[in-house]
A and B are shown apart, each in its own frame.
Chain A
Amino acid sequence: GEAMSIQTYNGAAIIAMSGQECVAIASDLRFGVQNQTLACDHKKVYRMHDRLYMGLSGLATDAQTLYKRFVFKHNLYRLREERDMRPQTFASMVSATLYEKRFGPYFVEPVIAGLDPEEGHAPFIAGMDSLGAMETAKDFMCAGTNSESLLGVCETFYRPGLGPEELFEVISQCMLSGVDRDALAGWGAVVYVISKDQCIARTLKGRMD
């Protein structure tokens, strides 16, 4: 096929949304190499601990490697400090890790979603670019090959203060509509809804194209 940019080599769609004492994070399931789809069960959301999840869009090999590095760092942190990392602390660490490679970066865009154990399990979502420039948001965060579409559909459907069940419905509709116009993302989706006491993972059936 034609030459593609490294950011669109694999394809991805990631959304994180914040609700009432809960957060949700979703990704598509496609794994492809340029135009060839190779798998439809490739999740891009990773669990760091019970109340902290991270989505990684971009080059799949970098996403895999980074995930492993962060597990390594978080495990050592847990051993030293005898506590799980707060979401904002983790986000700062991700940002610092990406910036270390400022002149030869990882080709990923992370999205982080979690509940802060210090502030009464308050929702936290953040996203950053491949160099670690971080932004937090109160409502939603998107990343992927068609992030503009995702942002548009989130802007339309989102409202604040949604409970876990409603949040699931909203984020699912956003994901399924958002990937419709993206040839490189889709083929199903996975949605995690994280509350204080539980995390529910659901798989969405979408158009397999």
Chain B
Amino acid sequence: LGGGGAMGESAYSFSLTTFSPSGKLVQIEHALNAVNQGHTSLGIKALDGVVIATEKKLPTTLVDGSTVQKTSLITEQCGLVYSGMGPDSRVLARKARKAAQAYWQLYHEPIPVAQLVREVATVMQEFTQSGGVRPFGVSLLVAGYDRGGPQLYQVDPSGTYFAWKASAIGKNMNNAKDFLEKRYNEEMELEDAIHTALLTLKEGFEGALDEHNVELGVVGRDRAFRVLTPAEVADYLQEVDM
């Protein structure tokens, strides 16, 4: 596997991600820097569902925000959000969707969230050990609901993945995680989690948080992942301000 999709002979049959004498893979460290410069995203797992949220800061007011969607639906039951390089996230979302469909075609069963995460993480790891490619410049938060209940996973550029009760990635991740640690409790329900997610994003947000600069993705017991409409987000924001 190599060439990152380019067919035929590549002059780069060697990996660009190589060890430093201290045992680090410097390219992965740099990739994590790219993630940490990206817009903040977070996820919270509740008793009856998962919510993932991301800042949607557009570079100028000239951009048609209504066409921008940072949350990707992968299967009916699960979706993901990212921090870091948008185009890299699109590539991974595409590969994740394909992996999910291949699973469906073989087993006629929706792919369990953990298996999907494993496959995406495997791809990300391969790009740290293949010829002529660079690691992905994103961390992903994957939210889904399957027979194992609600689940939230984080996948990093190295291909490491963890299941989380609540997590944040991107620019404001440290403050956000501190906030989440205080606010999170195991008995939380989805509605509470959505409020907490908005409050957490609000903490580190420059300016006013409104339904146009935040995106919320939720999946509940109905096992149907969806991105909330701006109107729904506005309602939640109102509840949070009260």
Chain A residues within 8 Å of B, Cβ to Cβ:
80-81, 86, 88-89, 92-93, 96, 118
Contact residues in B for A118 (Cβ distance below 8 Å): 147
Number of interface residues of B (CB under 8 A): 9
Given contacts A80-B118, A118-B147, contact A86 B112 (CB under 8 A): no
Flag if A89 contacts B109 (CB, 8 Å): yes
Told that A92-B106, A92-B109, A118-B147 touch, could you supply 8 new A-B pairs with CB distance under 8 A? A80-B115, A80-B118, A81-B115, A86-B109, A88-B108, A88-B109, A92-B107, A93-B107
CA distance A81 to B105 in the complex (A): 17
Given contacts A80-B118, A118-B147, contact A89 B112 (CB under 8 A): no
Flag if B106 contacts A96 (CB, 8 Å): yes
Interface of B is mostly: helix
Flag if B112 contacts A81 (CB, 8 Å): yes
CA distance A80 to B109 in the complex (A): 15
Flag if B112 contacts A93 (CB, 8 Å): no
CA distance A96 to B115 in the complex (A): 20
Flag if B108 contacts A89 (CB, 8 Å): yes
What are 11 A-B contacts defined by CB distance under 8 Å?
A: A86-B109, A88-B109, A89-B108, A89-B109, A92-B106, A92-B108, A92-B109, A93-B106, A93-B107, A96-B105, A96-B106
> Which residue of chain A has the shortest Cβ distance to B109 in the bound complex?
A89
> Which residue of chain A has the shortest Cβ distance to B114 in the bound complex?
A81
CA distance A45 to B118 in the complex (A): 34
For the complex of A and B, 10 pairs with smallest distance between CB atoms:
A92-B108, A89-B107, A96-B106, A89-B109, A92-B107, A93-B106, A93-B107, A81-B115, A81-B112, A80-B115
- Segment 90-136 of B: residues with Cβ below 8 Å from A: 105-109, 112, 115, 118
Indicate the member of A81, A86, A88, A118 with the most B CB atoms within 10 Å: A81
CA distance A86 to B147 in the complex (A): 13
Nearest Cβ on chain A to B36's Cβ, whole angstroms: 32
CA distance A96 to B104 in the complex (A): 11
Contact residues in B for A81 (Cβ distance below 8 Å): 112, 115
> Which residue of chain B has the shortest Cβ distance to A86 in the bound complex?
B109
> Which residue of chain B has the shortest Cβ distance to A85 in the bound complex?
B107
> Which residue of chain B has the shortest Cβ distance to A91 in the bound complex?
B108
For B137-148 the 0/1 string (1 means CB < 8 A from A) is 000000000010
Contact residues in A for B118 (Cβ distance below 8 Å): 80
Indicate the member of B107, B112, B118 with the most A CB atoms within 10 Å: B107
Nearest Cβ on chain B to A177's Cβ, whole angstroms: 35
CA distance A88 to B105 in the complex (A): 13
CA distance A88 to B109 in the complex (A): 9
Contact residues in A for B112 (Cβ distance below 8 Å): 81
